[in-house]
Every structure is written in C-alpha cells, then in structure tokens.
Amino acid sequence: MTSEVGANEAVVAGAVVANLRELLLERGVWRDLRRDADALTERRLFELDDAHGTQWVPFTSYAALLHALGATLEEDRVRELGHAWLDRALTRGFLANMIRSWLRSFNPTPKNVTLLVPHLWPVVNRNAGRMRMMDQGEGFLKMRVEPAPESLVQCPTQHRLLEGVGAALFEVAKVESSVQIGPTPGRDDALDFLVLAG
C-alpha cells in the first residue's frame, strides 16, 4: 500500500490504523462494517487488513473506514472508541513509549498535555497540516490544524474519534474535559480543536 501513496498525499500512520482496526475487531464492529459496506468501501476496508505492515495509509482509504464507522455507530460510540483507542495506545503500540515518556518527564498536567499534542500530530499524520495553539485562557484552549486536507476537514467521524482521544489524553492529566472538533468557520482548509476543562 505504501507504493500507492503520492508524495503530497495526506496519510495516516499504518500502526494507528491497525490499532483502530484491532479495537474494532475486538468489539465486533469490524464485521458489521464489512457486512454493510458497498463495493468501493469494502475494497478500501480490505486494503486496511494489511495496515499493520504498512508505514503509511492514504487518508482516502482511512476515510472509507471512518465513513463506514459513522454510518454504523452513533457519535457517542465513536467518541468512546477514540477514548478506548488512546487507552490502548498508552499500553501498546508505537505511540506508547513516546506518550508515557513525555508524561513521565513533564508531569501529566493540562499545560504539558497541550504541549504534547502538536508533537503527536506529525508522528501520526503526514501532509495533513500543522497543529498549533491559537488561544488559551482559564478553563479553555483552542488549537488549529492548517492547512488541513479537505478529506480531514469534512470528516465528522474523524472529529468525533479525535474528541474521544483528546478527552482520554486529558484524563491522564486528571482533568475532566470536553473536546470539540470541527471545521474552522469560513474556511475549508482548517480544523479547530476546542478543549473546555473543568
């Protein structure tokens, strides 16, 4: 699959996709996605069966999984999967050592978690924009990814999945939070992340 990836194409780390697929298999969701998929989506899901041995997965293939997931599960279940995915990522997978090391070195405070997130973005995504802090104040922070590929900006299932991941990451810092992700108003190339803590 890596040979099919264009030089400037948005991609997601194969290990991330493989870990999500394993979680979906464990919960019996993968079978439902494959059963309900149309022919094109089924072919793209079939390609993801190999994700573990692939360095990068084209976002278009990953988006097929996300769209199928969004058609099968309610938003709260997608958020819960994102939360469960991060729980897994903290114990196994290629991000585990990086996240645990960072949190051990810098203490899991909300501020340090916000410093970690922009560093995780390019490890997990390529050609998918840069994440940066936009604003923060008492009980909130706002980050933005730009320029973000349209396939990411227009994928609400990915937004819900990342909301679950973000909430789980802030729980590590012992902070109850609400994470809201959506397209930047008036733009088709940027994605906003709003974290409300407290």
pLDDT at 74: 95
Contact yes or no for 33/45 (Cβ under 8 A): yes
pLDDT given at position 2: 41
| 162-193 pLDDT, tens digit each | 999 999 988 887 888 899 999 999 999 999 99
- For the chain, which residues score pLDDT lower than 70? 1-6
pTM score: 0.90
The pLDDT, as a whole number, for residue 159 is 97
Residue 9 tokens read as 């194409």
For residue 184, the 8-state DSSP code is: P
186: its two tokens: 């008036």
Amino acid, single-letter form, for residue 167:
A
Strand-by-strand arrangement of the 56-58 sheet: 56-58, 11-13, 125-126
d(CA 114, CA 177): 12
pLDDT recorded at residue 6: 63
**What is the CATH architecture of 2-197?**
Alpha-Beta Complex (3.90)
CB-based contact 56:13 (threshold 8 Å): yes
Instruction: For residue 4, give the nearest of 48, 37, 66, 68 by alpha carbon.
Output: 48
The C-alpha angle with vertex 15 and arms to 25 and 5, in degrees rounded to 5, equals 110
Q: Are 152 and 188 in contact, with CB atoms under 8 Å apart?
A: no
65: closest CA among 55, 78, 53?
Answer: 78
Predicted pLDDT of residue 94:
73
| Pairing, β 11-13 against β 56-58 | antiparallel
Domain ranges of the chain: 2-197
Residue 27, both tokens:
């919960």
Contact 37, 45 (CB under 8 A): yes
Q: Is-contact 7 47, C-beta < 8 A?
A: no
Helix (H, G, I), strand (E, B) or coil at 83: helix
Give pLDDT, residue 56.
93
